[in-house]
A and B are shown apart, each in its own frame.
Chain A
């Protein structure tokens, strides 16, 4: 078969795309395929290959640094949520996520939006489901602990965040708020039991500072 583009060389690149229900075939020689920014790069990451395939896009990889290369025709689109099938574009139009798993699926894209909506708040402070937590105390379960309180690193990060907020409140002489952060620190530290130790240094130093200011 001859190349559809130059009509000279033998076509060695064959691409079939279903676009809006219509089958589109392209048969190109190696030279014209390269010119069109199409590559049969054997090193294409498998995830990209699969996602391109799933999204019904062609397997074009634009060449970086070549001005004459056409821009990719379809913008980057994230896969639908595995939990409920919601797409990011549907979320954008409705403002509603479809299930718990959406938070993880679209984490990169909704994270900054959530932070903006909550005036910089990016992680939960406060109540944890009471019964679930009680059950955890009676029968320690690492995976349940993680789902309620996060893994060791996340817990440490949250403690760190709280210490910083506590110090800030003390600095602003807002002792009532500081006391709330202190309570939250204590609560979070004790919740995870022996899994994590509260950092006595940060906590105590801040509270000492508080008492010296108030006295």
Chain B
């Protein structure tokens, strides 16, 4: 893959990336009734440079150039190509679009780090593997490199395998900051060691409706896991979608962390959610039907819709489809809408600057258009 093969950084979205569905919303794979997607993240830093928050602008530019040229010179599979975005030269709406597609963090979009340093002009970039967007690499976030691999459904093992290949390929041309005792060195000591975060995005409406979510949340915390919202750290849950991930990165190898998540913790949560759903169908069938049909009714008829409300209703509609309570709605449409209702996507689809009221109206219209009956 050569640098010339990717779109101009000034308009990274001209390939129409926003119109496609991302890998994490494909909605298939193992246990996809509960696990929307699996994601594996590695944090790495370049040896010989201060971490991003202490690095001078010259250092940040050097890190950016080194990583960019390394990433763009890596061999990749046939059909795919790498899109590179120089975020310091990008438009705000495009950055938000990339956040909504879960290709980078909000923090990286703003360029501001948790210590308050940096800003939108900070030298930083993002590489995305197209067309399925299953791989992305943030450069000069809190760590020099934050790479992720996402797969639809419960597929942590294949994500881990793939990210290790990516990690090795990058390391072919870059020396990582590594220490015999602490492993891969990271800006925040909570990521030191493997620098690995395994997470799954779970759809848990059954547990939410039966009021057992808090129990799961507490149990997960006891097992050393973090439960976060739809857009990761610091975000609220939207429509009962939660990201569950490991917190420990030191003293356990990749395989050990994978095993804990894949064979112990997550299958148990999947079991709880399925049990809650089937229990509701048996014991509270009318309540479930009422909730689902109200949601679908609102989606099909509302004229103004906020994004949080849309996510909540789409979540219930998804539950309805999976439990067989509603028919005639394609799961794929629900997944597409989950992305299309997000503010930057809405703006991009319509190609206009909209007021809040106009956005709500446009959102409701798009949903009605996709779900019919409006």
B194 touches A96 (CB 8 A): no
Secondary structure at the B interface, as helix, strand, loop or mixed, is loop
Partner of B51, one of A98, A121, A150: A98
A122 contact set on B, CB distance < 8 A? 181, 250-251
A83 contact set on B, CB distance < 8 A? 50
Known: A121-B252, A176-B259, A177-B256. A97 touches B187 (CB 8 A): yes
| Closest-CB distance, B157 to chain A (whole angstroms) | 14
Rounded to whole angstroms, the CA-CA distance of A141 and B179 in the bound complex is: 16
B192 in contact (CB, < 8 A):
yes
- The interface of chain B, by Cβ under 8 A from chain A, is 45, 47, 49-51, 53-54, 113-116, 142, 164, 167-168, 171-172, 175-185, 187-190, 192-194, 224, 247-256, 259
B194 contact set on A, CB distance < 8 A? 124, 126-127
A180 contact set on B, CB distance < 8 A? 253, 255-256, 259
A95 in contact (CB, < 8 A):
yes
Rounded to whole angstroms, the CA-CA distance of A100 and B187 in the bound complex is: 8
A207 in contact (CB, < 8 A):
no
A90 contact set on B, CB distance < 8 A? 115
A96 touches B188 (CB 8 A): yes
A125 touches B189 (CB 8 A): no
A53 in contact (CB, < 8 A):
no
Rounded to whole angstroms, the CA-CA distance of A180 and B263 in the bound complex is: 14
A164 in contact (CB, < 8 A):
no
Quick check: which of A21-29, A30-38, A40-48, A109-117 contacts chain B, the rest being far away?
Answer: A109-117
Partner of A129, one of B176, B192, B224, B259: B176
B114 touches A148 (CB 8 A): no
B252 contact set on A, CB distance < 8 A? 121, 125-126
Partner of A96, one of B113, B168, B171, B185: B113
| Closest-CB distance, B199 to chain A (whole angstroms) | 17
7 A-B residue contacts at CB 8 Å?
A: A96-B53, A96-B113, A98-B187, A103-B189, A126-B254, A127-B167, A131-B172
B181 contact set on A, CB distance < 8 A? 122-124, 150, 154
A96 touches B51 (CB 8 A): yes
B248 touches A121 (CB 8 A): yes
Partner of B185, one of A100, A130, A132, A148: A100
**With contacts A114-B250, A124-B180 known, what are 7 further pairs, Cβ within 8 A?**
A117-B190, A118-B248, A124-B181, A126-B252, A130-B171, A132-B175, A180-B255
Partner of A149, one of B180, B189, B249: B180
Q: A120: nearest residue on chain B (CB-CB)? A: B251
| Closest-CB distance, A101 to chain B (whole angstroms) | 9
B180 touches A147 (CB 8 A): yes
- Of the candidates B183, B187, B249, B250, the one having the most CB atoms from chain A within 10 angstroms of its own CB is B250
B167 contact set on A, CB distance < 8 A? 127
A131 touches B168 (CB 8 A): yes
Q: A104: nearest residue on chain B (CB-CB)? A: B179
A126 touches B171 (CB 8 A): no
Partner of A97, one of B172, B188, B248, B250: B188
A50 in contact (CB, < 8 A):
no
Rounded to whole angstroms, the CA-CA distance of A84 and B50 in the bound complex is: 6
B180 touches A121 (CB 8 A): no
- The interface of chain A, by Cβ under 8 A from chain B, is 83-86, 90, 93-100, 103, 110, 113-114, 117-132, 146-151, 154-155, 176-177, 180, 183-184
Rounded to whole angstroms, the CA-CA distance of A145 and B4 in the bound complex is: 39
B51 touches A94 (CB 8 A): no
Partner of B179, one of A85, A95, A103, A151: A103
Q: A117: nearest residue on chain B (CB-CB)? A: B190
B253 touches A184 (CB 8 A): yes
A130 touches B251 (CB 8 A): no
Rounded to whole angstroms, the CA-CA distance of A124 and B259 in the bound complex is: 17
A176 contact set on B, CB distance < 8 A? 259
Q: B224: nearest residue on chain A (CB-CB)? A: A119
Rounded to whole angstroms, the CA-CA distance of A42 and B41 in the bound complex is: 55
Partner of A126, one of B45, B115, B175, B183: B183
A84 contact set on B, CB distance < 8 A? 50-51, 54
B171 touches A114 (CB 8 A): no
B249 touches A118 (CB 8 A): yes
| Closest-CB distance, A152 to chain B (whole angstroms) | 11
B259 touches A99 (CB 8 A): no
| Closest-CB distance, A52 to chain B (whole angstroms) | 26
Rounded to whole angstroms, the CA-CA distance of A146 and B179 in the bound complex is: 9
B250 touches A177 (CB 8 A): no
Known: A94-B114, A129-B176. A123 touches B250 (CB 8 A): yes
| Closest-CB distance, B373 to chain A (whole angstroms) | 50
Partner of B164, one of A121, A127, A177: A127
| Closest-CB distance, A43 to chain B (whole angstroms) | 35
Rounded to whole angstroms, the CA-CA distance of A121 and B247 in the bound complex is: 12
B54 contact set on A, CB distance < 8 A? 84-86, 98-99
B189 touches A110 (CB 8 A): yes
Rounded to whole angstroms, the CA-CA distance of A93 and B181 in the bound complex is: 25
Rounded to whole angstroms, the CA-CA distance of A125 and B187 in the bound complex is: 19
